[in-house]
Copies of this chain bind each other. A is one copy, B any other.
Amino acid sequence: MTANLDTLMTDLGRRARAAARALALVPSEQKDKALRAAAQAIRIDAGLILAANARDMEAGEAKGLTKAMLDRLMLDPARVEAMAKGLEDIARLPDPVGRSLAEWTRPNGMHISRVAVPLGVIGIIYESRPNVTADAAALCLKSGNATILRGGSESFHSSQAILTALSGGFAACGLPADAVQMVPTTDREAVGAMLRLSEYIDVIVPRGGKSLVERVVAESRIPLFQHLEGICHTYVDGSADLEMARTIVLNAKMRRTGVCGATETLLVDRACAGTHLAPLVAMLIDAGCEVRGDQPAQDADCRVSPAAEADWSTEYLDAVISVKVVDGVGAAVEHINTYGSHHTEAIIAGDPKAAETFLQGCDSAIVLWNASTQFADGGEFGMGAEIGISTGKMHARGPVGVEQLCTFKYVVKGSGQTRPG
């Protein structure tokens, strides 16, 4: 079985590599036309997609999936239409392939340019959300990459139906048949086999919960775009305006508590703790947030429970926050670099010097001054759409959009130059 699986996966990989070579040369207009055709195919196939999803939902309910998981799995006509619209939005983005990232002429007359080219083959490993099938495949196609999708077993039929529609649209516009492939088995071992395909897959994007990402990080021989967790911080500096701090902290924690850009720890400068700490803590508790704090936070509001050491490195993804008083911006940066996950951190401050210290000192993908950590999102950044957020430092950091799905090559144009010496 494992031998068969490896053969199967190697074959997928080989075909993806061949498709990638062809896709790298496809002109922008053809890619965009294919994306629009795929959107139309999804609309036409909506009935089939919803029927496949009903099968997955039934199996999911029988299997006892949680309500949250069932909600992620569920498709309805509005969600199918959103998928189709998403493809059209991606078609409208500028083509990231072929951009000149830099160019210069050498004293010997050689012209050198660094030109954006596709990475090659992207592997996507995801869980129950079937819409990832369309989003991820479209972002990869836009950036000229071939895709190997490995969806969750719960959404297998939904994802297959979506892929059938997509592939029909792509093929109608002359794209290679293997531009987007899906691992045709729900065997868990297929993930392991996929993570060993370093010859054929250039980068893997794991999309899902912490346990999925942990497994992929532990096993992969292929570079990853991933974040394990978002332990994001908002630091209220002594120079912060209290009203602005209120507005931002409430949004950063409570707008959506389950997203990776939600603030998990509030740090308050001792210099303004006397005036800012109690109102901020009371506001959070009144909004339904559980607050776990250090001694000053507990002293500020009797509803605050004591924070344990583990709280400083916990991603709650829920209406819970840890609160700590720190000695100024330096101590805030130190706390964040020690306990954080290098994702997204915000400072609320009137003082530009304090802001500069924070923005420079935090070793995180995204640092914000006087704005909410919930902006950590490719769409909000104006990148169109994202395939995920990376807390790694190699190649992509922060939201991973179509530009980050490209690498580059050096193109040198000469007139007979040879190297002396």
A210 at the interface (CB under 8 A from B): no
A202–B24 Cα distance when bound, in Å, is 30
A185 within 8 A of B: no
Write the A155-188 contact mask toward B (1 if CB under 8 angstroms, else 0): 0000000000000000000000000000000000
Task: Scan A252-295; emit 1 where CB is below 8 A from any B CB, else 0.
Answer: 10010000000000000000000000000000000000000000
* Contact B394 A255, beta carbon cutoff 8 Å: no
Interchain nearest-CB distance for A331 vs B (Å): 14
Q: Across the interface, which residues of B come within 8 angstroms of A104, CB to CB? A: 382
Contact between A364 and B412, CB atoms less than 8 A apart: no
Docked pose: A178 CA to B65 CA in angstroms: 51
Residue of B nearest to A110 (CB): B371
Contact of A375 among B110, B370, B381 (CB under 8 A): B110
Does residue A248 face the partner (Cβ distance < 8 Å to B)? yes
A417 within 8 A of B: yes
Q: Give the Cβ gap from A364 to chain B, nearest Cβ, in Å.
A: 7
Choose among B202, B244, B410 the residue that contacts A393 (Cβ–Cβ < 8 A).
B202
Known A359-B411, A409-B398; contact A419-B364, beta-carbon cutoff 8 A: no
User: Do residues B369 and A119 form an inter-chain contact, with CB atoms below 8 A?
Assistant: no
B410, A203: Cβ atoms closer than 8 Å: no
Contact among B202, B360, B394, B412 for A371, CB-based, below 8 A? B412
Quote the shortest CB–CB distance from A224 to chain B (angstroms): 10
A61 at the B interface (CB under 8 A):
no
A367-B397 in contact given A248-B416, A417-B372 (Cβ < 8 Å) = no
Instruction: Assess whether A394 is in contact with B203, with CB atoms less than 8 Å apart.
Output: yes
Residues of B within 8 A of A119 (CB): 393-394
Contact across chains for B25 and A415 when beta carbons are under 8 A apart: no
Contact in complex: A418, B374 (CB < 8 Å): yes
Mask of A110-123 contacts with B, CB within 8 angstroms, 1/0: 10100000011000
**Are A106 and B366 in contact, CB atoms less than 8 angstroms apart?**
no
Measured CA separation A110–B120 after assembly (Å):
33
Give 1 or 0 for each of A204-239: 1 = CB within 8 Å of chain B CB. 000000000000000000010000000000000000
**Would you give 11 A-B contacts (Cβ < 8 Å), ordered by A?**
A24-B363, A119-B394, A120-B363, A202-B393, A203-B394, A252-B418, A255-B421, A371-B418, A375-B419, A394-B394, A398-B409
Please report A residues at the B interface, Cβ cutoff 8 Å. 21, 24-25, 104, 106, 110, 112, 119-120, 202-203, 223, 244, 247-248, 250-252, 255, 337, 355, 359-361, 363-372, 374-375, 377, 380-382, 393-395, 397-398, 407-419, 421
